[in-house]
Amino acid sequence: NAGVMQNPRHLVRRRGQEARLRCSPMKGHSHVYWYRQLPEEGLKFMVYLQKENIIDESGMPKERFSAEFPKEGPSILRIQQVVRGDSAAYFCASSAGLGASYNEQFFGPGTRLTVL
C-alpha cells in the first residue's frame, strides 16, 4: 500500500502530557501538510513541510506545537503539554509538488487525539 500512513490512529493523553503524531507520505511524494479538524468544524491548515524544511507554519499555534520532517523517517507533529482543546482529528496529506500536480493532496487516515 503506497498511500499516506499515519500512526497512531487513536491517541489518548492526559492534560499536560505530550502527543507525538507520525506521518509517512505517499511513495514518491516529498511534500507533507498537516491539518486539524475539530468536531463539527472544517479542515484547518497547520503546517507545510518538505524534507528537513518547514516551509509554512502559519496555521500552527506558536506555543506547544512543533513539526519536523527529517531526512530519514516520518514527519512528526508534536504537541507539548496538551489541553482538552487539542482534542481533534489530525490529518496528514502529501503531494508530489506544487508544479507537478496542481497541488493535489492525498490524505492519510488521521490520528484522533483525545485529551482527558
Q: Which residues bind another protein (CB under 8 A)?
A: 33, 41-45, 48, 55-56, 59, 91, 93, 98, 102-110
**Residue 5 or 17 having the CB closest to another protein:** 5
C-alpha cell at 103: 497541488
> Shortest gap between Cβ of 106 and another protein (angstroms)?
6
Q: Which of 15, 44 has the CB closer to another protein? A: 44
Min. distance of Cβ 88 from another protein in angstroms? 13
DSSP letter string, 11-78? EEE-TT--EEEEEEPPTT--EEEEEEE-TTS-EEEEEEEETTEEEE-TTS-SSSEEEE--SSS-EEEE
Q: Which is nearer to another protein, 47 or 115 (CB)?
A: 47
43-52 long-range contacts (CB < 8 A, ≥24 apart) are 43/91, 46/77, 47/77, 49/75
Residue 111 per-residue DSSP state: E
Q: Which is nearer to another protein, 17 or 37 (CB)?
A: 37
Question: Least distance (Å) from another protein to the CB of residue 16?
Answer: 27
